[in-house]
Every structure is written in C-alpha cells, then in structure tokens.
Amino acid sequence: MSTSLPPRSLGVGRVLIAVYAILALAATARSVVQIIEDFDAAPVAYALSALSGVVYIVATVALVRPGLVWYRIAWATISFELLGVLVVGTLSIFDQELFPSDSVWSFYGSGYLFIPLVLPVLGMIWLYGRRPAVTTDQVVAPA
Amino acid sequence: MIEVFTWIQVAVAVSAGMLCLVLGFAGKTPADLTLGSLALVELLLVVQLVVAILAPAFGNVATGSVLEFYTYLISALLIPPAAMVWALVERSRWSTVILGVAALSIAVMVYRMQQIWLYQVA
C-alpha cells in the first residue's frame, strides 16, 4: 500500500465527506422504508435505491480511508454514482412506471436537491486533485 | 406534530445553518456560538420526538407513513451530534462549514417530516 498519497480526509475534503455521509444515511434509510412498505410498486427503482445507498456508504468510507486501494474504490463508487444518476435520471423521465419520482436518482436526484448529480462531479474533481502521481507532498492547505 | 413548532424548528435550523456556513467560509473555527446553534437544533429535534410520541394520544395523528416519519426523525437526531463530534475532533474552519451543512440538512428533513405528518396520504 502506497503511503505517498496526499491525505484525502483533510480540509475542504471534510465537507465533501460529510455531505456523502448524510446522503448515504438519507438514501439508505429511505430505501429501507420504501422496501418495507411498498416494494411491489416499483421493485426495480427501490432495489436500485438500496444499492445506491450502500454504494454511498462505501464511497464515504473510501474517501476517509488512506491508501491506493481505497483511492481506487473511491473512484469506482463515485463513477458508479454518476452513471447511476445519469442513467436512472434519464430513464425516469421516459419510463415513469419503472422509476417513480421518489427514488434517489429519479429526475437526476431532484428529490434530493440535485445533490446526487452534483456530488459525484465534485468528488471526481477532488479525487483528481489528490491523484497519486502528482506530488508526494501534502497539497492540502492548512485550514 | 405541532405545525407552528415545526416551522420554528425549520427556521432555527436554517438560521443555524446559514450562521455556520458564513462563519466557516469566513475562516472561523468551531466555537461556542456555532456548536451551541447545533446543540439547539438537536434539542428541538428531541422535543419533536417527544411531541411525535405523545401527539397521537391527543388525536394528532400522522396522515402519512409513520415508519417513514420516524426514519427521518431518527436519522435527523444522529446528524447534529456527529457534526459536533467532528467539530471537536478537528478544529478547522471546514468543521464549521460541516456544522452548517448538517443544520441545513436537518431543516430539509424536518420539512419533509411535516409533509409526511400533515399532507402525505398513506
């Protein structure tokens, strides 16, 4: 495991991680409610909601943990989220039966103030700025 | 759920959120004022929990999903303490911003809880 990665859990990155944690909590909790109460109404959408909740949790952990492996997991989960919100967001417009408006990614995350759409992009920009090859020094400004 | 109290709660959470965001982006580390504002937000959530438990006994029943309501409420109760612990562990201005983000998300969640209690048809 490389120790030359700039730390990802300092400075403004803390805010990103905090927002991820809240979104992970919200998405997971809500999908549990949806699955318990109303799974038959939209099994595809609610199963995807649960999956997205789990992925948000993994992404949150990956952002906090140091090391190259977690860095790659962070990229994978955040890419998955961006793909998810774009695909499901588009599908929800054209096929409302499959994706009712109350899943996390429906209508590009409009039920969550579009945070699911914006957050992966911010996460990618931030991860790119922390990529291993750039520098071995800490580039995070003291807060 | 008491509608007036809920609106006060949303207003307090929004105010605390804006206060912490402004002070955080101005470079202030977490202080008594910002931590205290989150403590107030948490206190009101505890009051809301008590109100929600007692209200049905007085004929004030949720129109929507009780399970969804309590999922929001329990989730909301966890957020301010987590943000405050974070602020105490890392005393940077970004922790103040996080306090603000936490308070604003409470405002959104309480608003959703109000919709569930008053308007959502189960």
pLDDT band at A39 (very low <50, low <70, confident <90, very high): confident
Report d(CA B98, CA B79) in Å as an integer: 10
Please give the pLDDT value at position A135: 47
For B17, B71, B95, B109, the CA distances from B101, given in Å and listed in that order, are 6, 20, 10, 12
Q: Is the separation of the CB atoms in B17 and B101 below 8 Å?
A: yes
Please give the pLDDT value at position A133: 63
pLDDT band at A113 (very low <50, low <70, confident <90, very high): confident
Distance of CA B35 to the CA centre of its chain: 13
Domain residue ranges in chain B: 3-118
CB pairs under 8 A between A and B: 49
Report d(CA A43, CA A98) in Å as an integer: 8
A chain contacts of residue B70, beta-carbon cutoff 8 Å: none
pLDDT band at B19 (very low <50, low <70, confident <90, very high): very high
Cβ–Cβ of A29/B67 closer than 8 Å? no
Element (H, E) at B45: helix B32-54
Cβ–Cβ of A26/B75 closer than 8 Å? yes
CATH architecture of the region B3-118: Up-down Bundle (1.20)
Q: Is the separation of the CB atoms in B38 and B103 below 8 Å?
A: yes
Please, which contacts does A124-132 make with residues 24 or more away whose CB atoms are closer than 8 Å? A124/A75, A124/A78, A124/A79, A124/A82, A126/A8, A126/A12, A126/A13, A126/A16, A127/A8, A127/A71, A127/A74, A127/A75, A127/A78, A130/A5, A130/A6, A130/A8, A130/A13, A130/A71, A132/A2, A132/A4, A132/A5, A132/A68, A132/A71
Supply A58's token pair. 């993994």
Report d(CA A3, CA A8) in Å as an integer: 12
Percentage above 90 pLDDT, chain A: 20
Which of B23, B38, B75, B104 has the most A C-beta neighbours within 10 Å, making it the best mutation to test the interface with A? B75
The dihedral sign for the CA sequence B73, B78, B79, B84: positive
Report d(CA B60, CA B56) in Å as an integer: 5
Supply A91's token pair. 């599908």
Which of B72, B105, B112 has the most A C-beta neighbours within 10 Å, making it the best mutation to test the interface with A? B105
Cβ–Cβ of B101/A15 closer than 8 Å? yes
B chain contacts of residue A19, beta-carbon cutoff 8 Å: 101
**What is the identity of the amino acid at B106?**
I
Distance of CA B22 to the CA centre of its chain: 18
Q: Which of B65, B72, B82 lies at the smallest CB-CB distance from A37?
A: B65
A chain contacts of residue B71, beta-carbon cutoff 8 Å: 29-30, 32-33
B chain contacts of residue A25, beta-carbon cutoff 8 Å: 75, 78-79
Instruction: Please give the radius of gyration of chain B, using alpha carbons only, rounded to the nearest integer.
Output: 15
Supply B97's token pair. 């911003």
**pLDDT of A35 over the 80 cut:** yes
**What is the identity of the amino acid at B30?**
P
**pLDDT of A82 over the 70 cut:** yes
> Taking CA atoms, what residue in B is nearest to A115?
B105
For A119, B56, B83, the CA distances from B33, given in Å and listed in that order, are 29, 35, 14
Domain residue ranges in chain A: 13-129
Q: Which of A19, A29, A113 lies at the smallest CB-CB distance from B71?
A: A29
Cβ–Cβ of B67/A18 closer than 8 Å? no
B chain contacts of residue A37, beta-carbon cutoff 8 Å: 65, 67-68
- Give A22-34 pLDDT, tens digit per residue: 888 888 888 888 8
